[in-house]
């Protein structure tokens, strides 16, 4: 077998066969055994990167320098064998590893299960690409993908703001002495409201808002007629579905009256208590990770040997990979000792039910407010930050890179008996970090009601916010209870609705401390066990 001398490192690069195994995770409350995001969407891997190190057997740290060679492979480079009773292995025929290699970081990404299945980040998730070139360990990072990675106002958002401006600037409306029309005007520009001029900029909300105003304009006077004329001049926004058209939640859209016009608001400021529009991301995708020592063999371990093996993974290694713990000049085959596990976490959330009677912010009972007429349409999940080489958040916690997954796949198959269910891949959160989890509903009751920041009209969406604090749920000796989300673990939450008084139409700054108010965690926090949260 040929050997290559590397002039940069004065080391010998060996051409060897490499074997990697995916673990079952059966010994702990893990994402396993399913190798899927939402079965059967994903199946196994089509990308794998192995980064070699010399650490004298210790775990890799951010200060460790990778060796020159980086093994990057796609599906065509790997032979896969899968046996649910044993292990899932990937055999790489001939790759270069430098002598001295004794540890590896391994990353893998899953693929759509069917070749004819089009890729959709809303369904399949999306993370940063795997490393393709050698880089410093501290520079290896993975981030969620923003649905809209800009704070610039979208043309559809601007069209809605312009439409609202044209109505507000109806000649004579702002200066009218008619007390009824004057009150309509002040309400239209949100003066005196809790939102202090800020309101939903979603197409559905704006259309419902102006329709409600038009229904109130029963007079035939010139001013009422002029206002109705401007309302009816809606051809520019008739087919507008912003921000749903971009894949964003309606609550991400906001506008504010500035004295002469409505302006689109997309970022969090001291004045604009909104969640920045670029904070919303697609879910994480299914990704695998290991920081593992290696096993070597001075004999060739052929593809046939590994394909015909009937032993367990540990027994197979003991039989065939019993050489040095580092690559040397005699090495012909290498195995990554530890099976790679899931590099992401998973949230299983269930909306179990609603109180028989739900009241709004005016303490008025909302008619027909039940699971059927207030369907769950999405979930927004916080605690998401860029993660480093070990798939964990790096350094001290800051909110600069805080992101929020927008999950739109909701299972209502067994609504009457099991409630609404969602399943989302997420990144590990910081230790002790409080994580907001927000439920998105659609008002199909046929009745408007008053929420935290104004009226929730029929056929529009609203949001109820829950806050999960792991500090109240820690268990001694169980590291995974120190945080809400832990890689290779599933967090299960059960939520119920007891009130609509704190329903938002325009999403507030989800990093604000005041979001903790009104949420109660009523069971002990164990990530293998359901956590019950009341939204009230």
For residue 412, CA distances in Å to 283, 311, 409, 485 come to 20, 42, 10, 24
Q: Measured between alpha carbons, how far is 518 from 512 in angstroms, rounded to an integer? A: 14
pLDDT for 13 equals 65
| 293's tokens | 């020592």
Dihedral (CA of 259, 263, 269, 275) sign: positive
Contacts of 442 (CB under 8 A, 6+ apart): 374, 375, 377, 459, 460, 461
The whole-number mean pLDDT for each consecutive block of 10 residues of the chain, a chain of 536 residues, reads 41 72 49 38 67 93 84 56 52 82 90 60 88 85 95 97 98 97 93 65 98 96 98 96 98 94 88 86 92 93 77 86 90 90 90 91 96 97 95 82 92 93 94 92 97 94 90 70 87 88 89 48 38 51
pLDDT of residue 44: 62
Give 531's strand partners: 493
Q: Are 307 and 347 in contact (CB under 8 A)?
A: no
The model's pTM is: 0.89
Say how far apart CA 276 and CA 150 lie, in whole Å.
10
Residue carrying structure tokens 């028989």: 356
Letter string b/e over residues 399-428, b meaning 16 or more CB atoms within 10 A of that residue's CB: eeebbbbbbbbbeeeeeeeebbbbbbbbbb
Model pLDDT, residue 83: 44
DSSP secondary structure of 209-270: HHHHHHHH----SHHHHHHHHHHH--TTTTT--TTGGGT--GGG-EEEE-SSSEEEE-S--S
Angstrom distance (rounded) from CA 65 to CA 101 = 12
Nearest CA-CA partner of 431 in 476, 397, 472, 390: 397
pLDDT of residue 174: 96
- Residues 6+ positions from 186 with CB-CB distance below 8 Å: 192
What's the pLDDT at 359? 94
3 state DSSP class of 369: coil
Both tokens of 370, joined, read: 């039940």
Query: How much is the pLDDT for 167?
Result: 98
Q: Are strands 78-82 and 403-407 parallel, antiparallel or unpaired?
A: unpaired
């Amino acid at each position: 077998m040929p050997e290559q001398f590397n002039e940069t490192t004065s080391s010998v690069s060996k051409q060897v066969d490499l074997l990697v195994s995916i673990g079952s995770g059966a010994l702990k409350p893990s994402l396993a055994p399913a190798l899927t995001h939402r079965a059967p969407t994903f199946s196994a891997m089509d990308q794998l990167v192995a980064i070699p190190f010399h650490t004298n057997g210790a775990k890799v740290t951010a200060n460790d320098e990778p060796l020159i060679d980086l093994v990057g492979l796609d599906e065509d480079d790997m032979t896969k064998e899968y046996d649910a009773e044993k292990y899932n292995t990937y055999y790489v025929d001939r790759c270069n590893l430098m002598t001295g290699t004794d540890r590896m970081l391994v990353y893998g990404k899953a693929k759509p299960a069917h070749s004819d299945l089009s890729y959709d980040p809303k369904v399949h998730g999306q993370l940063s690409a795997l490393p393709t070139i050698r880089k410093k360990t501290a520079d290896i990072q993975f981030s969620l993908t923003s649905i809209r990675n800009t704070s610039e106002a979208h043309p559809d958002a601007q069209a809605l703001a312009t439409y609202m401006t044209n109505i507000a600037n109806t000649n004579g409306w702002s200066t009218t002495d008619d007390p009824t029309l004057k009150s309509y005007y002040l309400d239209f520009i949100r003066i005196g409201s809790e939102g202090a001029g800020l309101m939903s900029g979603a197409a559905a909300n704006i259309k419902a808002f102006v329709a409600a105003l038009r229904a109130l304009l029963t007079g035939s006077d010139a001013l009422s007629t002029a206002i109705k004329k401007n309302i009816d001049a809606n051809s520019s926004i008739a087919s507008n579905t912003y921000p749903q058209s971009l894949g964003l939640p309606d609550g991400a859209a906001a506008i504010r009256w500035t004295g002469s016009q409505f302006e689109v608001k997309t970022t969090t400021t001291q004045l604009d208590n909104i969640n920045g529009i670029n904070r919303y991301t697609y879910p994480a995708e299914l990704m695998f990770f290991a920081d593992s020592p290696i096993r070597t063999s001075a004999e060739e371990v052929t593809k046939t040997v590994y394909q015909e093996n009937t032993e367990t993974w540990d027994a197979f290694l003991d039989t065939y990979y019993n050489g040095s713990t580092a690559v040397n000049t005699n090495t012909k085959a290498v195995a990554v000792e530890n099976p790679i596990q899931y590099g992401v976490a998973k949230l299983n959330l269930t909306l179990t039910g609603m109180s028989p009677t739900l009241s709004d912010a005016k303490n008025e009972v909302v008619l027909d407010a039940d699971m059927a007429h207030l369907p769950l349409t999405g979930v927004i999940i916080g605690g998401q930050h860029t993660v480093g080489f070990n798939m964990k958040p790096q350094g001290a916690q800051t909110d600069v890179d805080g992101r929020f997954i927008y999950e739109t796949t909701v299972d209502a198959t067994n609504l009457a008996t099991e409630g609404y269910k969602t399943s989302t891949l997420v990144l590990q959160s910081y230790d002790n970090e409080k994580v907001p989890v927000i439920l998105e509903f659609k008002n199909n009751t046929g009745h408007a009601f008053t929420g935290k920041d104004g009226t929730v009209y029929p056929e529009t969406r609203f949001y109820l916010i829950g806050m999960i604090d792991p500090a109240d749920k820690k268990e001694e000796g169980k590291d995974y209870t120190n945080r809400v989300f832990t890689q290779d673990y599933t967090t299960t939450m059960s939520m119920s609705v007891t009130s609509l008084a704190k329903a938002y139409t325009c999403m507030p700054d989800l990093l604000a401390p005041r979001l903790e108010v009104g949420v109660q965690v009523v069971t002990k926090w164990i990530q293998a066990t359901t956590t019950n949260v009341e939204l009230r």
